[in-house]
Structure 1
Amino acid sequence: MYDYMIIGAGIIGLNIAKNLKERFPQSKILVIEKEPEVALHSSGRNSGVLHAGFYYTANSLKAKFTKEGNIALKNFCKQRNLKINECKKVVVAIDEEELLGLEELKRRGDINGVELIWLDEKELEKLYPNIKTYKKALLCPSTATVNPKEVTKEFAKVIEELGIQLILDCKYLGSYNNIVKTSQGDFEAKKVINCAGLYADKIARDFGFSKDYVIIPFKGIYLKDKNNISNLATNVYPVPDLKNPFLGVHYTLTVDNESKIGPTAIPAFWRENYQGFDNFSFSEFFEILFYEAKLFITNAFSFRKLAFSEIKKYNLNYFKNLAMKLTKNMNHEGYNSWSTPGIRAQLLNKNTLELVQDFVVESDENSVHVLNAVSPAFTSSIPFANWVVEEHILK
């Protein structure tokens, strides 16, 4: 009998395990992961950007945890000698309407306590000659990039150092009375914590949760310039549409000084729809197609426009041109290969047909279900895990 059993060894599951063990050193904790190693899905396939916390409204969990998480993950990387690129971020505008969007981001940043610096066009040109904006831009000094796979694997090392049992190649098959059936036998725990990412909603339903929600997958890929021929010196982002959770096509500078354009947010047709027909599932295909058809017919959150614009991004010139609105005289010849695809496990409210923007956790005395841990969940992982423990596991 375990005190706590965590399903999913992504960055959230690993941090919840770490937090519990540090609070209760005598507790018996098990983490199971269906893959042969950690970080094969969202935790290892995201951009690696440590966000600062100025996109989110002040009353949201994302606002609360992103700023704290940025500091905490930087400290973790420094303590464990992991690579970090403190390359900052610039958010630019292309017209008067987007200038209003910049003002809103600055207002949110001020409320959330995130440092943002106004730059006029001359100041921007002096710092970053290849970046262009309309009248003003926002510089965020605290944004950085890390290698997400390296960071997640390091958390896996940490939990094993703490004496937490991690079983790989251990697939969840079902549950009854807090006994979890897996491909490596049955395990019993006083409390089960579901951090299964793309499958969190399905597992939650076995415990009577996620009645109003379903996960809709969106595929994200980047165009890479492996040698940074473009001489990108910082992350460059457009003003996002704050009504949906995607940040638009932007430039990212990786920890290894590669530059990337992206990502896409293409609706996927099954949960691990990374390439071709890999991991194809008929049941997932029909369930997701049902909800995507519903979104298309009702045009909820302008889904039709989103779907058509995302599909166009498979055209390299179209994709590059979206990014080139943010830059000038930059050499784009190096952007010629696609990155490893990632899938965003985006929660959809089945009743309102809205994409849920904030983190969602459901729980009772027997189980806890992390249903919506989308970007910036990687950045927020340390304080978010602490909140899950305090508000859902220990209560």
Structure 2
Amino acid sequence: MRKYDYVIIGAGIIGLTIARELKKREPDVTICILEKESDVAAHASGRNSGVLHAGFYYSANSLKAKFTKEGNQAMRAYCKQNGLQLNECGKLVVAKDASELAGLEELKLRADINGVPLQWMNEEEIAVIDPNARTYRKALFSPTTASVDPIEVCRTLKRENAENGVEFHFLTKYRKHRGDLLFTNSGTYKYNYLINCAGLYADSIAHDFGFGEKYTIIPFKGIYLKYTKNKTDVVTNIYPVPNLKNPFLGVHYTKTVDGSIKIGPTAMPAFWRENYQGLQGFNLKEFLQIAGYELKLFITNSFHFRRLAFQEMRKYIKSYFIGLGMSMVKNIDPKGFGHFLRPGIRAQLLHIETLELVQDFVIEGDNRTMHILNAVSPAFTCSMPFAAYVVDHIMKQRGGALS
């Protein structure tokens, strides 16, 4: 039996940054990270857009607003300090017609309240940023939005943690617990404190410990389509005005860290937690549970789920998907789009009583365990200040440091 001060379940960006934060505060504690896959960032942390968001989408009283602004600064600094790839290309948010100008105004208001740089641009100024961007009368430019390679960042955090004494146990899957014992497919672990950062499975593990019982994870599949003709037809990230009542930002152009162009993502309801492709990873129990909740959402039409489901299904038609991006640019070659990129699954928390998607971060815990129930986009951007927030809560629950 292996004994540790802290056992962390999940080697995604949240587990990695929490381990790093714990070691910064308590260098002598023993920490291990358990991960059911063969390496870090196997799921959402390695399959996201790679965009470091600026923090103007979120209402001022939200954790997301605070952590996105701070996290953007922290992650850009971390990349520079460690010589990691960073594309500081910015972002334009464009309007398709007069009806969307009010949405731009709301985003600018939120940016001002949150203290995030966001600049009005007329059509002449937009042309200097990206000559191909199309908007109605005006747009917003975010100079601090950037792109990174999320897998490169996670592997660097893995190396830093390992150098600081954090142990990694890969291909190690949580089975059950009893008291302070954690049972896995590769042995038993004894912990003084457990931190659940299991992403798509965070809710089910939390339920085993008596937490998160008001919630369940509903998975949404995100897919990007790569523009293979060139890297020059789009210069910056170009986003539409989002519907701020749901957590999805709509199909947009992303400039990756190497300057490539992609459009997406989808937000397709998935039917089991790792429903990436075909029947891969099919789990009957998950299918029945998730399909049951999605049927409830369809019947009640909570957060306009019916419209979302039909819209997202249409995105499997490549020409329709490309068409959604055409309105944001003046000229793009529809034949220049190549292959769909590796899909990701968004672990979106659903409140099972209200049938509403939970928009902000949610954690629950006590003096023995902490459960990261909702760490959805932009969790990658937010990860470093969010990790400090989680560790603050752990210390408070424990009445101080562990050592």
The worse-fitting range, judged by mean Cα deviation, of 166-175 and 119-128 is 119-128
Structure 2 gap segments, 5+ residues each: 398-403
Alignment partner of 1:126 is 2:128: yes
Where in structure 2 are the equivalents of 1:201-240 lying within 5 Å?
Answer: 201-226=203-228, 228=230, 231-240=233-242
The worse-fitting range, judged by mean Cα deviation, of 176-185 and 226-235 is 226-235
Find 1:258's aligned residue among 257, 260, 266.
260
Find 1:329's aligned residue among 321, 328, 331.
331
Q: Check the 8 A contact 2:303/2:356 in 1, yes or no.
A: yes
What is the identity, as a one-letter code, of the residue corresponding to 2:145? T
In the alignment, the residues of structure 2 paired with residue 235 and residue 4 of structure 1 have an alpha-carbon distance, to the nearest angstrom, of 39
Deviation at 1:230, TM superposition (A): 5.5
Identity between Structure 1 and Structure 2 (%): 58
Find 2:270's aligned residue among 268, 271, 276.
268
In the alignment, the residues of structure 2 paired with residue 283 and residue 154 of structure 1 have an alpha-carbon distance, to the nearest angstrom, of 36
Structure 1 gap segments, 5+ residues each: none
Q: Check the 8 A contact 1:229/1:332 in 2, yes or no.
A: no
What is the identity, as a one-letter code, of the residue corresponding to 2:299? I
**What are the Cα deviations for residues 346-366 of structure 1, in whole angstroms up to 9, with x where unaligned?**
000000000000000001111
Q: Check the 8 A contact 2:229/2:337 in 1, yes or no.
A: no
Alignment partner of 1:357 is 2:342: no
In the alignment, the residues of structure 1 paired with residue 256 and residue 335 of structure 2 have an alpha-carbon distance, to the nearest angstrom, of 18
Q: Check the 8 A contact 1:368/1:393 in 2, yes or no.
A: no
Deviation at 1:116, TM superposition (A): 0.6
Q: Hey, which bits of structure 1, 4+ residues long, moved more than 4 A? A: none
What is the identity, as a one-letter code, of the residue corresponding to 1:34? K
The aligned counterpart of 1:158 is: 160
Q: Check the 8 A contact 1:229/1:334 in 2, yes or no.
A: no
Deviation at 1:183, TM superposition (A): 1.2
Count of aligned pairs between the two proteins? 395
The aligned counterpart of 2:184 is: 182
Where in structure 2 are the equivalents of 1:296-375 lying within 5 Å?
Answer: 296-375=298-377
Where in structure 2 are the equivalents of 1:7-86 lying within 5 Å?
Answer: 7-86=9-88
In the alignment, the residues of structure 1 paired with residue 180 and residue 225 of structure 2 have an alpha-carbon distance, to the nearest angstrom, of 44
In the alignment, the residues of structure 2 paired with residue 32 and residue 197 of structure 1 have an alpha-carbon distance, to the nearest angstrom, of 13
In the alignment, the residues of structure 1 paired with residue 95 and residue 177 of structure 2 have an alpha-carbon distance, to the nearest angstrom, of 50
Q: Check the 8 A contact 1:270/1:280 in 2, yes or no.
A: yes
Q: Check the 8 A contact 1:229/1:331 in 2, yes or no.
A: no
**What are the Cα deviations for residues 336-379 of structure 1, in whole angstroms up to 9, with x where unaligned?**
21000000000000000000000000011110000000000000
In the alignment, the residues of structure 1 paired with residue 394 and residue 103 of structure 2 have an alpha-carbon distance, to the nearest angstrom, of 35
**What are the Cα deviations for residues 275-309 of structure 1, in whole angstroms up to 9, with x where unaligned?**
11111000000000000000000000000000000
Q: Check the 8 A contact 2:59/2:65 in 1, yes or no.
A: yes
Q: Check the 8 A contact 1:7/1:13 in 2, yes or no.
A: yes
The worse-fitting range, judged by mean Cα deviation, of 56-65 and 119-128 is 119-128
Three-state SS of the structure 1 residue aligned to 2:373 is strand
TM-score (norm 1): 0.98
Q: CA RMSD in A?
A: 1.0
Alignment partner of 1:295 is 2:297: yes
**What are the Cα deviations for residues 11-43 of structure 1, in whole angstroms up to 9, with x where unaligned?**
000110111111111111111100011111000
The aligned counterpart of 2:91 is: 89
In the alignment, the residues of structure 1 paired with residue 231 and residue 142 of structure 2 have an alpha-carbon distance, to the nearest angstrom, of 24
Q: Check the 8 A contact 2:64/2:360 in 1, yes or no.
A: yes
Q: Check the 8 A contact 2:103/2:241 in 1, yes or no.
A: yes
**What are the Cα deviations for residues 251-273 of structure 1, in whole angstroms up to 9, with x where unaligned?**
00000111001000000000000
Alignment partner of 1:243 is 2:267: no
The aligned counterpart of 2:141 is: 139
Three-state SS of the structure 1 residue aligned to 2:334 is coil
Q: Check the 8 A contact 1:91/1:236 in 2, yes or no.
A: yes
Three-state SS of the structure 2 residue aligned to 1:108 is helix
TM-score (norm 2): 0.96
In the alignment, the residues of structure 1 paired with residue 99 and residue 389 of structure 2 have an alpha-carbon distance, to the nearest angstrom, of 37
